[in-house]
Amino acid sequence: MKSIVNLLTKCISLFLILTLLVTAIYLSGCNNEPGFGIYLVESGELVLSEHHIEGYNWDSHAIELNEEGIEKWNSYLTSGAVPQTQDTLFQDEFVVKVRGKEIYGGEFYSLVSSGFYPGVVILDALMILDESRNTIVINFGYPGSFQDAGEDPRDNQELFDYLDSQGLLKPG
């Protein structure tokens, strides 16, 4: 009887260890955070990820969106002929992350703005995209570049390496 109890104890112990091991392996693979993402600073919401991108032109920092990306981008816009800026991404702060690490931040902006912004901007936060117009651009400064704004944070080697490893870098 004692040997049966010992055997059962060993089996239960082995079962528990295997269950914990399988659970740990499963949970380690459940990190759904994308390798590349553009997030809203205020809410932490993911706006776009590598799953929404057809290609990234490193020279111009233009991001060509795929069909899912166009749909996601347009979900932030109001319907109607004249977008209501308060109901869009316009002037919301964002952060670009690679593998969960913050690379640089900026603000969503629009070509209709008469204001100046010396940092990184994503244009055009008020533009509805479709198959023929499916590109957003990450600029350094609006309008144009600001020579006194410091080093351009978009030229980040970690970001370049990640996009390259995913086959997302596209020639100009």
* Same domain assignment for residues 130 and 59: yes
Q: What is the pLDDT of residue 94?
A: 97
- The larger pLDDT score, comparing residue 119 to residue 32, is at 119
- The larger pLDDT score, comparing residue 117 to residue 169, is at 169
Q: Are 135 and 64 in contact (CB under 8 A)?
A: yes
* Statement: residue 38 has pLDDT above 90: yes
Mean pLDDT, rounded, for 74-84? 72
* Statement: residue 29 has pLDDT above 50: no
- The owner of tokens 């870098």 is 169
Each residue's pLDDT tens digit, 128-168: 899 999 999 999 988 776 556 578 999 999 999 999 999 99
* Same domain assignment for residues 47 and 24: no
- The larger pLDDT score, comparing residue 13 to residue 131, is at 131
* Same domain assignment for residues 126 and 45: yes
* Same domain assignment for residues 79 and 43: yes
* Same domain assignment for residues 140 and 64: yes
Task: Provide the CA 85 distance to its chain's centre, in angstroms.
Answer: 22
* Same domain assignment for residues 57 and 21: no
Its domain, for residue 20, covers 1-31
Q: Which DSSP category does 52 fall into?
A: G
Domain count, the chain: 2
* Same domain assignment for residues 79 and 128: yes
- DSSP per residue, 140-171: EEESS--GGG-S-TT--HHHHHHHHHTT-EE-
* Same domain assignment for residues 42 and 124: yes
* Same domain assignment for residues 72 and 126: yes
* Same domain assignment for residues 18 and 97: no
Q: What is the pLDDT of residue 110?
A: 86
19 pLDDT band, cuts 50/70/90, is low
* Same domain assignment for residues 59 and 135: yes
